[in-house]
Structures are given as structure tokens and as C-alpha cells.
Chains A and B, each alone.
Chain A
Amino acid sequence: MVDLATRIGAITLANPVMPASGTFGPELAQVFDLDALGALVTKSVTPEPRAGNPLPRLCETEAGILNSIGIPGKGLDHFIAHAIPEWRRFRPPLIVSLSAGTNAAFAEAAARLAETPGIAAIEANISCPNLEEDGRAFAMFPESAAAAIAAMRARCALPIWAKLSPNTGDIAAVARAVEEAGADAIVVANTILGLAIDIETARPRLGAGMGGFSGPAFKPIALRLTWQCAQAVRIPLIGVGGIATAEDAVEFMMAGATAVQIGTASFVSPTAMMQVIEGLRDFCTRRGFTRSADLTGLALPGRRLAAE
């Protein structure tokens, strides 16, 4: 028997596998029992309704996708009234992804979510444009990332997971800044900005121009970011970026992640998360790990596998 139980601060997950925000919805319950997941992570909710970006919103590359969906949604009021009750049909801890354009809007929305029953934690999507900084993402810089997290922390008693962006020059500095600002965990990382051009029309292939790149080709970059963050902070890390198999998940855990998120892989295989949970159990059994939590950080400098 392998114990897959996973602790992220005060929250206990049945296993370390959860969806990545934006690639998941209650629709997946048509394919398997969502109660088998470690946690549920919603699409990002924004304070106000948003229409989303022009089409095409997604384009394919050799081993991944570019997306610029634009966070379409009906806004926070509708989310609290309608989406939260729908999510509460399921047992795993509910993580609400929150996006906003200013520190004050992040704080106000976090305060509203903190009053709403049934939410285990807020995932702060600080990879979105900061309207007070010429639209540069909050997570690009330690100062703006910390300011957004601190503003939420002051108004919200729920655990806050800061979702970092790979579009920064010094991920370790951003990770330290959000830890000091009061984040309870770090999700690393969001999509990396990319571009594809249709050479027949000489226009970007996405309606919005640039988009976020994700999928298997992004995995080495996300793994490196996880490894760098693991050496910079003490709070738990949730690794995300290109994970499609249990072997990928084990890599992220060995690089320092306590849990993992799976996104793009669910588009190719809707049962990918279930396959990763089963494969993780099989790996632990084969290598004699009684607790999957013991994988965390094994590949970090100074750590090594125990002698057999």
C-alpha cells in the first residue's frame, strides 16, 4: 500500500494530483469520478464579467499548444451564486483561481471569497496584466507580485497559493517575494508567452496575437523553474507545465514539488489525471516508497535516494 496523502499547509489532499486552472471544469465528470482527484481548481474568476478574446483562441504546435482564451466569464457575483454550489457536489478541496487587474480588486475579490463557504484556498493568478503597470503581469517582478499577494493577505484568511509566471528574469526572487508577502504555497508555473504566424496570411495564428505556450515541449522549462523555487522558499510548491505522465509528475516532485497540476494533457487524454495517479502509485510500489510525499525534493542539491 502506498500512501498518496499530501499536505499543502493546512490542507490535506487524498493525492498530489489536481487540474491546472483553465483546462478543467465539471464537464470532466462525464468521463471519470472527480472525487478521485487530490483537489479541484476552477477556471480563473474575475471581479467583472469578461467576453474573452477574439478567435482563434488556440493553436497547435509540434508538442504543445498556444492559447489566448482571455478568461471569459460571468464575473464574481455569478461565480459565487452559481459555480460554487455546482462545485460543492464534489468532495476534494476546492481551489478557486482568482484574477484581477489591480491590487485593490484582488483584495476585494479575495475578501468576498473568504466569506463564501466551501472554498479551501485561493490560487492567485498573478500572471494576468496589471492595469496599474502598463499591463505587465504582476508576476513579472518581485515587487508587483508581492504587492498583489500582500493586498489579498490583508483581507483574506483563506490559504493563498501564488501562481507564478515563467515570463520573468528571476523566478527565485519572485518566489521569495510572495512567500514574504504571506503566500501559503506557490504554483509554478503558468504558460510562457509565445507566438505562431500563419505564413499564408502573414498574421498571428491567434486572434489576440501572442498566447501562452503549454504542453510537453514546455516541461523542461517548468521543471527548471520548480527546481529554482524549491531552493529559494520553504512554503510548498505545486509543479505545473507539460506534465502528461506519472513519470513527469515524479520528476516535478523530485525537483521539489509537493503536488502537481495537469492541464494541456487532459485535452489529449481526458483521463490523464487518473492515469498519473495510478502511475504514481505504481512507481512508488516499484521503488519501495510507502509515501509519495517522500519523493519531494529528492533531486535537489544535497539530497539523494536512500541506500537500498
Chain B
Amino acid sequence: MDLAPAAFPVAERNAVVIESAPVGRRYHRLRLDAPDLSALSRPGQFFHLLCRDGAGSGPYLRRPMSIWRCGADEPLGFLFHVKGRGTAALAALRAGDRLSVVGPLGQGFTLHPSWRRILILARGVGLATLAPLTEAAARMGIAVEAVLSARDPADLMAEEFAGHSGAHVFPVLDADGSSDPLAVEALLRARFEAARPDAVFTCGSNRLLLLLQRLSAEYAIPGQVALEQQMGCGLGMCFCCVRPIRAPDGGTVNLRVCAEGPVFDLQAALGW
């Protein structure tokens, strides 16, 4: 059933699952048959998913899920950490099952055509939110360097991140100490000096957000961050997902992560 004609930018739709597969020890990926929604979607946007397993069991409210794969020639995809009831129900879906999606929603990342190079800093499954940016940048001729932080090689998911985009990945790991904040700072400084990016992007770690805010302010590089928050409606109606965001006047203002976000200016975001 699809009650939303194409004239409406947000659809509520039962989409057929075409792939459901575990990734590493803790993650899972889903791909859906919804080519029109995939083509409409932009990196950084999200869908609101009704997390019910094949037997219809799952939490009452939908769950916001950032887009991992999208585009005119790519099935709509989600990559997530199987952590609670909602993601467990999603991981229990099998090819051929239906998943009710609402979206695409929210404000995505911005890429300027004049940019030559961007740098992405991601921790854990935060890379899923930033992954579609690599393909979009590649299509615009923008080079991508990515510092991916993970526990160990099994959690890194460099392939899931970069796809066919040709992004240059610098892995940093807890297992060998290279993800230590001082080591990551040294790596970022080295990259900023060697190949200054026109913009930086991050998602998934408070510590890395604060580090990237500090360094990009020092180097005067603009940035964007995708934030997460518990949501009710996902559309901007319930005001449950607000976060304090720095206003131009120096104060803070409560903005809705679902409607004004989830992507915000890097320096306007507050750590959590």
C-alpha cells in the first residue's frame, strides 16, 4: 500500500527486503526494493522504520535509521548495529519480507561543486551515515580521505564504507592503540598539512566530534556533523527529538534533529 503519490516528498510504503545479511560480529545490512525512494534520497537523510520481524513483533514506535546506500542505480540500504529490540527485529527480516518505511526525511549533507577534497572522520557504525557521501563526492569529482575508527579489523567495515567510490581509508584501531585521541589528532594534523580538505564530516562519536571541532576551527575548515536523537514522529511534529544547537548570537536554541537536522554545522553542534 502506498497512499502517498509521487507529488509528496515523503512516502509511507511497505518495501520488499531484497537482502538481509549479518556484517561482522555485531552489524547487519538490509537492502530494499524501492528504486524511486532510493533515487530521491540524499546522503545524511534518514528513514523512519517500523521495526517488526516477520511475525509482526517489535517495538511500538518507529526507529530512525540513517541511509547507508542510496541513488538512482543502487538499492536503498541500511547498515546498523544490532543492539536493542528494534534492530533485532530488523535483523530478523529475510529477503521477501516487507518493511514499512517512511522517508526520506531530514536535511542531508551539503557538497559544494567547487570543493576538491573532503575528509571524513567516523567511529563504529557512524560510518554507515557517512558512507553515501563517498559515492556522491566521487560523482562530483571530489576526492575523499576517511579516518575510520573501530575496535579491531573485524569491526572496521572499510568495504561497507567506501563501496566503489575509491575513497582513501586510514584505519585506526583500539586493538593497536592507533585510535587513541592523541594519535588520531596527530593523523588529522598530518592529513590537514599534506592535503588540506575543503570540508570535514563526522558522525558517531562525541570524542571525535569535539576533536574535529577543535582542529577544524584551528585550520579554518568548515564541517558538518550528523547527530542522533530518540524520535517520536520523525517528521517534526512532536518536538521530542530536540537538541541544543549553537545560535549565531552565541546562545543555544533547541532544534529538531528530525527536521532541522540530522546534519548540522560542525561548530554549531554541542557535545553530549
Contacts and interface: CB of A to CB of B under 8 A. Distances in A.
Q: Could you say which interface size class chain A belongs to?
A: 20 to 34
Interface residues of B, number: 27
Given A30-B9, A275-B3, A270 B240 contact: no
Interface of B: 3-4, 8-12, 50, 59-62, 100, 102, 230, 232-240, 242, 254, 259
A136 to B, nearest CB: 25
List the 10 closest pairs (A to B, CB-CB), nearest first: A58-B240, A27-B236, A25-B237, A30-B10, A271-B3, A267-B233, A57-B240, A27-B235, A58-B232, A31-B10
Given A30-B10, A270-B10, A72 B239 contact: yes
A123 B100 CA distance: 34
Contacts of A67: 232, 238, 240
Nearest to A31: B10
A27 to B, nearest CB: 4
Contact of B238 (A22, A31, A56, A215): A22
Interface string A28-63: 101110000000000000000001100111101111
A80 B260 CA distance: 23
Contacts of B10: 30-31, 270
Contacts of B232: 58, 65, 67, 267
Which label, helix, strand, loop or mixed, suits the secondary structure of the B interface?
Answer: loop
A96 to B, nearest CB: 16
A60 to B, nearest CB: 5
Interface of A: 22-25, 27-28, 30-32, 51-52, 55-58, 60-65, 67, 69, 72, 215, 266-271, 274-275
A128 B4 CA distance: 35
B249 to A, nearest CB: 16
Contact of B60 (A30, A31, A61): A61
B3 A63 contact: no
A270 B242 contact: no
Contacts of B50: 268
B235 A69 contact: no
A275 B60 CA distance: 18
A193 B155 CA distance: 44
Nearest to A27: B236
Contact of A24 (B8, B60, B237): B237
